[in-house]
A and B are shown apart, each in its own frame.
Chain A
Amino acid sequence: MNPESLSFIFLNAFLINNFVLALFLGLCPFVGVSAKRDTAFNMALATAFVMFVSSTCSYAINQILIKFDLEFLRLISYIALIASSVQLVEMILKKFSPVLFRALGIFLPLITTNCAILGVALFQTSRGYDFLQSVSFSLGGGAGFGLAIVLMAGLREKLELSNLPNITQAAALSMMLAGILSLTFMGFAGLGTTA
């Protein structure tokens, strides 16, 4: 049981310990899908949704595993769970919102290997959050991921128009930008005691 309040957990995952910029989770989509603002936003939505679904399910699975004393199976069951919840999201979207499904395209299945999702499940277990705390944590994490990737996409769209030296090819420049973004997010550290 963890005594932190729900609002603090949300803010902590959203701003203070942002998943991408402070904990370095989910860097692959952060670098790979942040070239355009629209796709970045859609990616953020899908990721946040999968994060929410898999976080609530993994809370339930963890309870079952603890009951049967099978904690060493935790990692494998989380991974299987995430892969199947991505499949689930894919099927739901295909049925109810084909437009969004087409817009996301290849990014949807790739969410499985996004470490932010597994990170949420692992962190909520190791910090001993209860059900409501886990929900708040996953929502904050999803929002934080979205904020970071949309900000990054905005910056990169602006940079398309500027004149840059040759050696700052895509990856090197993205890293530098992320470093500066991460610096600005450090300003939020005063909001509460960092974990």
Chain B
Amino acid sequence: MVNSTKQEAPLTLDVFTTGIWKENPVFVMMLGLCPVLAVTNSVENSLAMGLASVFVLVCSNALVSALRNFIPKQVRITTYIIIIATFVTLVDYIIQAISLDLYNKLGAFIQLIVVNCLILGRAEAYASKNSFSKSVISALGMGLGFTLALVMLGGVRELLGAGQLMGYQIFGTNFQPWIIMILPPGGFIVLGSWLLLINYIGQRRTGKLIAEDLRSHCSVNNH
């Protein structure tokens, strides 16, 4: 970042993996929340939405990165949005062709991928500055991280709200489904709980590190 004249950092596995967990778009960066909450009432919907987003993210990042030297700086955001809108229109028609049932369930949220801040954010922050292959790999990682988060939410909501997973009954017949989980409030509450859990784990880990640090410090002083 400091040495912009220096050659780009080489393509490593890190480019791919940061998006999946360390900088997970949903749990860490809080980007693109609208589809995250709106369509995750079942695993199937989450997966479809996640894969549609991966497609748009990878294609638009690839195109933005390939054209990064030709797009004038002043109109770059407009150009990015038009590129993204093109791919979203494609995905919209593809899903309509594959499964009309799924299309009706997801409704307008497929078209709303256009205003998903994650995609525009990656185009502006990463693809416009990095080489083609790196942008594609990073977009793939980010997209898979996004899908992972969607499925984590959808899994919990479907399991508690309907007692099933991917359409298979998990709990017995006397299980009383928590209807609230598949209704809108459930989305907020489940995402809130995941964030709490992640914060808790993160704090325990840093807490442990600080404790170790203190201990080693003390032992040095004792010498």
Contact = CB atoms under 8 A, between A and B. Distances in A.
A167 B85 contact: no
Contact of B33 (A28, A113, A182): A28
7 contacts: A23-B184, A80-B82, A166-B203, A173-B192, A175-B191, A175-B192, A176-B192
B184 A21 contact: yes
Interface residues of A, number: 39
A179 B117 contact: no
A93 interface: no
A78 to B, nearest CB: 9
B198 to A, nearest CB: 8
Contacts of B89: 72, 75-76
Contacts of A48: none
B189 A175 contact: yes
Given A172-B192, A183-B185, A24 B38 contact: yes
Interface in B183-212: 183-189, 191-192, 195-196, 199-200, 203
B37 A27 contact: yes
**9 closest Cβ pairs, A-B complex:** A179-B188, A175-B192, A172-B195, A179-B189, A176-B192, A24-B38, A182-B185, A167-B199, A27-B33
Contacts of B37: 24, 27
Interface in A95-129: 113-115, 118-119, 122-123, 126
A137 B89 CA distance: 25
Interface stretch (B9-17, B107-115, B164-172): B107-115
Interface string A159-179: 000000011110111111011
Contacts of A179: 185-189, 192
A21 B108 CA distance: 17
A31 interface: yes
Given A75-B114, A126-B108, A179-B192, A31 B30 contact: yes
Given A24-B38, A174-B192, 9 more contacts: A24-B33, A24-B187, A76-B85, A79-B81, A113-B115, A115-B115, A126-B108, A172-B199, A183-B185
Interface in B25-55: 30, 33-35, 37-38
B151 interface: no
A83 interface: yes
A176 B199 CA distance: 14
B185 A83 contact: no
A106 B108 CA distance: 28
B173 interface: no
The prevalent SS among residues of B at the interface is helix
Contacts of A174: 192
Interface string B117-150: 1001000000000000000000000000000000
A171 B114 contact: no
B92 interface: yes
A186 B196 contact: no
A96 B86 CA distance: 36
Interface string A1-28: 0000000000000000000011111111
Nearest to A23: B38
Contacts of B188: 175-176, 178-179, 182
Nearest to B86: A76
Given A76-B85, A172-B199, A119 B112 contact: yes
A47 to B, nearest CB: 13
Contacts of B174: none
Contacts of A180: 185
A113 B117 contact: yes
A186 B183 CA distance: 9
A75 B187 contact: no
A79 B83 CA distance: 12
B115 A118 contact: yes
Interface in A31-66: 31
Nearest to B93: A72
B189 A167 contact: no
